[in-house]
């Protein structure tokens, strides 16, 4: 057979595979599951159809009749008529069981569960490679923003100085309301819940566990670093007050929860997720409400800015739709940077923070090395503290009612006076 004939056959086979609609098994029918179902119903020519839907609770009211559902997700795992499994449940442990089992079967899987992916990414990659399945998870980070595919494909070979952004729409909505309407935190949170942007139990979002998971996922694609979530500092906004919002406003700044991945000198990487004081020169300053925004600082391409809706059924469902399209074209993540020389992960730094607290013992425990500003009447202090101290005492910071926002200034733990430019780009 000639080379031309072989090429024609391959093209014909690919065309045939693209013409046949993907038969989808959907596990979960909450916000994202319903969003995907609605999108595919409006796009009958897309080339994918939901054949089966599995849910956990038979008695829960839903938009489809009860006979449309299965109540054992394992039935979908063992259904040979399904081409793709889409997992969109909120139970990270059960999600891992389902996804890992499907990968051991060599199946194609799409997930939106960021906590599960962050906790188990090394094992998931190993299963994918051993058994020949495919796992895609664009919907796990930043909703409608194609940040994972952008990092994996477009910047797979280019060094990145930093990747930083607002990756949680719920906390961003609360901070926006507090800044615009002078609302107290509790009032703004209730509004976010009424709008559907925050869960009944908002801990994962407001205490920055959700954006921490997303930062861990981004680290794998941006830098080839496979981190455990516990390695990454996460401080949230559950203790934010009008005093903190006013402090930022006087300086012409806003408080945003920023996930930051920074490449430091000597191929060292640090990752942290905290509130940050952001000024108008940053693209993140104008990212408000439930929107997300990500700044990619590339070595050769320069700064890139991605912005879009970070939550909601249709925006997140659109990311699942993009993964289904990628599977139809036999695409998978390259993880190109996993094969490059490893970076050293470091927390041996000092970061400048704004801290509001009335706990004097906490001030001693954090070990301020320089204090640049202090206001006893408002109970806040600005200065440098070791990053390791913040990681060690993060639980105590929460329970003590303290609020922290970083300024963006970072320096080596040797107390050098020169600020690391790479780590203060945002």
- Show Cβ contacts of residue 123 under 8 Å, excluding neighbours closer than 6 positions: 100
Nearest CA-CA partner of 52 in 36, 35, 73, 31: 73
Residue 403's SS3 state is: strand
Cα–Cα dist 30/18, whole Å: 28
- Both tokens of 197, joined, read 């942007």
Cα 107-111-115 angle, rounded to 5 deg: 130
CB 24 within 8 A of CB 84: yes
Q: Which residues are catalytic?
A: 214
Beta strand extents in 180-310 (DSSP E only): 233-234, 254-264, 268-278, 291-298, 302-309
Residue 136's SS3 state is: strand
Nearest CA-CA partner of 255 in 406, 423, 425, 424: 406
Whether the CA torsion 299, 137, 211, 282 is positive or negative: it is positive
Nearest CA-CA partner of 308 in 119, 177, 138: 138
- Both tokens of 405, joined, read 């926002």
Cα–Cα dist 41/29, whole Å: 14
């Amino acid at each position: 057979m000639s080379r031309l004939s072989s090429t024609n056959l391959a093209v014909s086979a690919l065309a045939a595979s693209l013409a046949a609609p993907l038969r989808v098994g959907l596990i979960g029918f909450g916000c994202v599951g319903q969003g995907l179902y609605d999108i595919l119903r409006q796009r009958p020519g897309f080339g994918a159809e939901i054949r089966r839907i599995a849910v956990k609770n038979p008695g829960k009211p839903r938009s489809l009749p009860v006979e449309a559902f299965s109540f054992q997700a394992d039935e979908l795992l063992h259904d040979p008529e399904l081409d793709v499994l889409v997992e969109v449940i909120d139970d990270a442990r059960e999600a891992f069981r389902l996804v890992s089992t499907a990968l051991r079967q060599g199946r194609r899987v799409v997930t939106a569960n960021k906590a599960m992916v962050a906790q188990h990414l090394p094992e998931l990659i190993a299963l994918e490679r051993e058994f020949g399945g495919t796992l895609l998870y664009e919907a796990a980070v930043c909703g409608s923003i194609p940040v994972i595919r952008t990092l994996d494909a477009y910047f797979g070979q280019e060094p990145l100085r930093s990747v930083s952004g607002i990756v949680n729409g719920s906390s961003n909505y609360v901070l926006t309301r507090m800044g615009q309407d002078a609302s107290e935190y509790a009032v703004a949170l209730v509004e976010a819940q009424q709008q559907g942007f925050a869960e009944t139990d908002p801990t994962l979002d407001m205490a920055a566990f959700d954006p921490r998971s997303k930062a861990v996922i981004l680290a794998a694609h941006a830098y080839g670093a496979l981190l455990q979530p516990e390695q990454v500092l996460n401080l949230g906004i559950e203790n934010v007050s009008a005093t903190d919002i006013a402090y930022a406003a006087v300086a012409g700044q806003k408080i945003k929860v920023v996930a930051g991945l920074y490449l430091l000198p000597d191929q060292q990487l640090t990752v942290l997720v905290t509130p940050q004081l952001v000024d108008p020169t940053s693209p993140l300053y104008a990212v408000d409400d439930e929107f997300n925004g990500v700044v990619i600082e590339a070595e050769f391409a320069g700064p890139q800015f991605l912005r879009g809706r970070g939550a909601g059924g249709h925006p997140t469902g659109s990311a699942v739709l993009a993964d289904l399209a990628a599977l139809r074209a036999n695409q998978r993540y390259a993880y190109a940077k996993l094969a490059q020389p490893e970076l050293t992960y470091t927390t041996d730094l000092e970061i400048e923070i704004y801290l509001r607290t009335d706990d004097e013992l906490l001030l001693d425990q954090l070990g301020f090395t320089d204090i640049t500003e202090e206001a006893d009447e408002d109970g806040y202090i600005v200065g440098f503290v070791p990053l390791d101290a913040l990681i060690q005492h993060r639980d105590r910071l929460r329970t003590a009612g303290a609020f922290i926002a970083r300024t963006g200034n970072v320096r080596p733990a040797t107390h050098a006076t020169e600020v690391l430019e790479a780590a203060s780009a945002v």
